[in-house]
Amino acid sequence: MHRASARARDPAQEIGMRPANALLLALLVASCAQPCEVPRRDTAYLLWSLSIEQATRDDGRSVAPGFDLDGLVTARPRFDGSCVDANEDHEYRGVRGIDNATAHLAGLAQLLAPEPIELEVARKVVSGQLVLLLDVRWGEDGGMPSMRIVRGEPVSGAIETIGERPRIGQAFRVVEVMADVPVVVRRRCAERRDELTAIVPAFTPVGDGVVRALPLEHAEVTHVGISTDGLTLRDGWLGGSWTVDDVADWVADVAPAIGRDQASVALSGVADLDPDPSDPITCRRLSFALRFEAVTAELVD
């Protein structure tokens, strides 16, 4: 008869696991059990750069990052049945090919506009013509947050810059609150960041003047999405649409040789929202997703 060993058996040895691998597994389990900690604090962000990515090819189709405004993949031209009204779905991360018909115009804008949109917008921010802030406020104990869309003005009278971008931490006085809405939060523990998305009453990014690079003064922003690690903005998007007529006017303005009628016909081929009541097949609006960069700021009510 064999005598039973008094030594307690190691579970790792029971399943044939090496001690080093067992230690790695233990560390992995322990790390997964740790709560996902992303600092949540009230923060205001000053937008200082806007851009639009050009559509690219992926598996034989044209795609671009954007918001899911209508539940259909409509970022490529001539998508059957894409002319529908927007709904309340506002996913924006990790989905390419969703509602960014204007991405097909990014290359055209680069050819026609006198300068890139990034440079023009940055200059308008510094001059005070485009002072737009997102004010994120968390509830008690880091609860459900809200977001205010604010037009502001620098308390000092001028926006200070370091190079091309505004200096971090400047104070701005609230001039107009254009929206104050609840925010949907998705926590990305692996990346240690929060994604915040909100549906907002339609507003135009530009409060004064005209942006030649794109008709921003006619853009209607209805969706906002940001990714933050609690300290800085990691990613930001404005989603919405503008009418075919407004974009056609812009094309005719920056490229008179093309003409408004010719531009309108071409743009109707990529329009993807807002069906015409008299002709449901005809779309009257183009969706867009504008990427933005921002720095943290202070808001003074």
Mind listing the pLDDT tens digit of every residue in the chain (301 residues)? 444 444 444 444 444 545 555 555 544 444 444 556 777 888 999 999 998 877 777 666 667 778 877 666 655 444 444 576 655 555 555 456 677 888 877 777 777 777 888 888 998 899 888 999 999 998 776 678 899 999 999 999 999 999 888 999 999 999 999 999 999 888 888 878 888 889 899 999 887 777 888 888 899 998 999 988 877 888 899 999 999 999 999 888 888 888 899 989 888 888 888 888 888 778 889 889 899 999 999 999 8
Written as one letter, the residue type at 84 is V
Determine the Cα–Cα distance for residues 116 and 105; give it in Å rounded to an integer.
13
| Residue 74 confidence (pLDDT) | 59
pLDDT at 129: 87
Q: At what angle do helices 244-254 and 260-268 cross, to 10 degrees?
A: 140
Quote the pLDDT of residue 33.
44
Residues 29 and 36: their CA atoms lie apart, in Å, by 14
Q: Indicate the pTM of the whole model.
A: 0.79
Q: Do the Cβ atoms of 254 and 212 come closer than 8 Å?
A: yes
Name residue 62's beta-bridge partners: 57
